[in-house]
Structure 1
């Protein structure tokens, strides 16, 4: 793994050197590094000839242009000023050509990095047992960063590398890996990055394959699967929500609202809000039937909850917090992520895309009924009912 990482880091350093030359760095260390690569091309670039042939040609052109740009003024005879101007124009043109070729070299080296990263990642993921876990974690992080940087400007060569090596099936097969913070979490982030990179190609496999089920199954144990599910719902919207409902997975995603890890609870709340926005009537009804309102009230009673109307005071100080919802988020997380959770869900349903106006009114009445049933005191009932009734009114 260390040797492989070192090789990729060298390639990335050469790519960065080419970009520095492209931006105008002259005959400095960056250009010398590229010329050294060209000098050793017979040994360094012979292993993958079809893919690296263009890089070899560009490096040869780079050397020729660098020599032309750095040639000293030749002795002038006759019209000295005119000859000097022509020579200066020639050298300026050579420098501009050098920058263009260096940019093309950077593109070729990036494609080389992509091919190596993808091939090494798939090999690491397919190793039996946990032999490739360390390599896979590092390569998954590298791939995720690359896909995120490429989002919004499609790279066909990266797409070909992903499909040729079968990255999505390899990543999907390791979703839900039981090692906390390990390969499974990295695969969850990689699936989301693949969908964001190219929805047209990867949304279909997400909806039809077992990956979503694996994310749901591991949602309560780690923040990463829920973070990926939230991102997937934001990217795919109603089709994914409908698929989760058809598979019967939505009830399993209500349970993490009372998970021991407060980060998981915060992500589960975010998921419920997204589903409330995109879900159809039967989807929202399924959430409510699973006790969603009761769990949201539980979150509001915790020391991370409260109401929007009284965010500066200790809401519910006279009530005993539910033991299921105890615990605090790390300092880096939001201080009170569960404030007015019920009203926020009601707002998402009311402004969402999945329900008609009539269904929204009926669902709001159902939420109010369940609040009355689940409230532990008249004060809590009055506060939450007021928020639900007026929280979505402009």
Structure 2
């Protein structure tokens, strides 16, 4: 697709303006007040002004020829409504029919424009990542893709994503260490956005591929946050996968980082895994000296770790991975480990009280 003549930026800006004008026109199409209300007149003027600019550009652009035709049809309908007389039963019925057609044509034009813009987003993303363009171009392409995903599920957009193998491309970008950290992290966030966009399609791809292993090995604040998001989206299947791949020590190991931001993100991840994890997962976490590490964090001057031992205990208590009996056993084990890790009877009494009765307000 050639976007160089006229300039790609000029076309995209014009298309976005036309899409917004079409959307506004749909909400203002009342056959009785359409030509008289100020906001209706404004919507008409905005679209007609854009139409005169767009016709010249679109008519000479092979990929925009259909849009040009749709825009001309919409302009003709508006002109017909403007010419119609607002009196008499026959005229009123004609105005109603034309107004309805304007609303339908506006909706169709908006959809056509969105389809074109979606194709441009996917083409830009694929090109920027496959051709290894400069970092800023890659980041911009990924961010534009994420912004489109954030608008919610769209079947046609999903078809574009699948045909272009976007998930595989983002995953490859994430795992290739020669890519910049920023690009890898943005790719990771885009993967989590895809899972949110449609779990039924993209969860399986996450579980089967190297995404989770790559996120854990990166061990950055961003990669851990994405991992935490994925755990929240996918829940026990992903936690079980992390456990079976022997990655629980790495999850707990985030808490030992000298980077405070990594440590905080790691705590959130540990709490999320604790809420979802089955008995084997919790036992594996405890076996990595988790309680002692949490006790050490709680002693830090930084308030971000206040009550982190009891917070983990609460996650187990209210979580979905353990049975009632297993929850009781886990609490007793935590109390035992807290006693071992305490530096004084007073500290043990304070922390154990928080575990048993909750933290003080």
Aligned residue for 1:182, secondary structure, equals: helix
- CA drift at 1:172: 0.5
The equivalent residue for 2:136 is 134
- CA drift at 1:260: 3.2
Aligned-partner Cα distance in 1 for 2:14–2:189: 26
The equivalent residue for 1:386 is 353
Q: For structure 2, which runs of at least 5 residues remain unmatched after alignment?
A: 29-39
Between Structure 1 and Structure 2, the one with more helix by share is 2
Pair 1:4–1:147, CA change in 2 (3 A): same
The equivalent residue for 1:28 is 45
Contact 1:276 1:348 in 2 (8 A): yes
Pair 1:4–1:38, CA change in 2 (3 A): closer
Of 198-207 and 107-116, the range deviating more from structure 2: 107-116
Of 114-123 and 65-74, the range deviating more from structure 2: 65-74
Of 252-261 and 345-354, the range deviating more from structure 2: 252-261
Aligned-partner Cα distance in 2 for 1:370–1:146: 48
The equivalent residue for 1:302 is 300
Of 131-140 and 6-15, the range deviating more from structure 2: 6-15
The equivalent residue for 2:145 is 143
Contact 1:195 1:203 in 2 (8 A): yes
The equivalent residue for 2:35 is none
Aligned-partner Cα distance in 2 for 1:10–1:252: 49
Aligned-partner Cα distance in 1 for 2:25–2:343: 68
* Structure 1 residue 272 corresponds to structure 2 residue 248: no
- CA drift at 1:127: 1.8
- CA drift at 1:88: 4.8
Give the aligned CA root-mean-square deviation in angstroms.
2.5
* Structure 1 residue 61 corresponds to structure 2 residue 77: no
Aligned residue for 1:354, secondary structure, equals: coil
The equivalent residue for 2:206 is 206
Q: Deviations over 1:255-300 (max 9, x none)?
A: 2223233332222111111111111111111111112112212221
The equivalent residue for 2:216 is 216
Q: Deviations over 1:155-209 (max 9, x none)?
A: 1110111011111011001115577762111111100100011111101110000
- CA drift at 1:112: 1.2
Aligned-partner Cα distance in 1 for 2:281–2:100: 60
- CA drift at 1:391: 2.2
Pair 1:341–1:5, CA change in 2 (3 A): farther
Pair 1:298–1:180, CA change in 2 (3 A): farther
Aligned-partner Cα distance in 2 for 1:12–1:102: 14
The equivalent residue for 2:125 is 121
- CA drift at 1:73: 4.3
Aligned-partner Cα distance in 2 for 1:164–1:10: 27
- CA drift at 1:390: 1.9
Q: How many residues align?
A: 341
Aligned-partner Cα distance in 2 for 1:268–1:8: 41
The equivalent residue for 1:175 is 174
Kindly report which structure 2 residues correspond to 1:104-115, keeping only aligned pairs within 5 A, or say none.
104-115=108-119
TM-score by length of 2: 0.86
